[in-house]
Amino acid sequence: MHGRPEIVFVIARAENGVIGRDGGLPWRLPEDLRRFKALTMGAPMIMGRKTFESLPKLLPGRRHIVLTRRRWQAEGAEVARTIEDALALVDGPRVSVIGGAEIYRLFLPVADRIELTEVHGRPEGDTVMPPFTGWRESAREDHGGYSFVTLVR
């Protein structure tokens, strides 16, 4: 594993690439939130400042590593300025990258796995993520209105 944790994206993305609207999610999928919790529990999470600020509260059982260029701090947030700094804070075999779009773009070249919730539909949104190309689907679970998909390199 060349001495770094497994980097896992946890992301929900609609058919049109939308991943967010007005600092939140443009859909309500309780099953996706349960899966998010199961996938991220017990491991540090790396996120951008706006994603951190969009959380209703600190998520129990997980460290909140916030990647930002700003001079910024918040209760419960461990601030990092670079990808390398963020990864240096990780003290386990795995880290979840949870957004937003800019953070996903920064980590995409080094990501090992993507846990994707494909939202069937084309909601309006202001944050988009292009399709993941060059990845192979290793698992898929189809549900009404969404699918849980695991992508690997």
pLDDT of residue 3: 77
Confidence of residue 22 (pLDDT cuts 50, 70, 90): very high
Residues 59-95 as b/e (b if ≥16 CB within 10 A, e otherwise) read beebbbbbbbeeeeeeeebebbeebeebbeebeeebb
- The predicted pLDDT at position 139 comes to 98
Q: What is the pLDDT of residues 32-45, one digit of tens each?
A: 999 999 999 999 99
SS (H, E, C) 131-153: CCCCCEEEEEEEECCEEEEEEEC
Q: CATH homologous superfamily of domain 6-152?
A: Dihydrofolate Reductase, subunit A (3.40.430.10)
* Nearest Cα residue to 36 out of 108, 112, 128, 98: 98
Task: Please tell me the predicted confidence (pLDDT) of residue 2.
Answer: 52
pLDDT of residue 147: 98
Percentage of the chain beyond pLDDT 70 is: 99
Dihedral pair phi/psi, residue 85, rounded to 5° = -60, -45
pLDDT of 87 > 80? The answer is yes
Nearest to 63 by CA among 78, 81, 84: 78
**Bond before 100 cis per omega within 30 degrees:** yes
- Check if the beta carbon of residue 5 is closer than 8 Å to that of residue 94: yes
- Reported as a single tens digit per residue, the pLDDT across 37-69 is 999 999 999 999 999 999 999 999 999 999 999
Per-residue pLDDT, averaged over 122-134, amounts to 96
Q: What integer is the mean pLDDT of 112-141?
A: 97
The pLDDT score that the predictor gives to residue 1 is 40
Determine the 3-state secondary structure of 61 from DSSP: coil
Where are the chain's structural domains? 6-152
Confidence of residue 136 (pLDDT cuts 50, 70, 90): very high
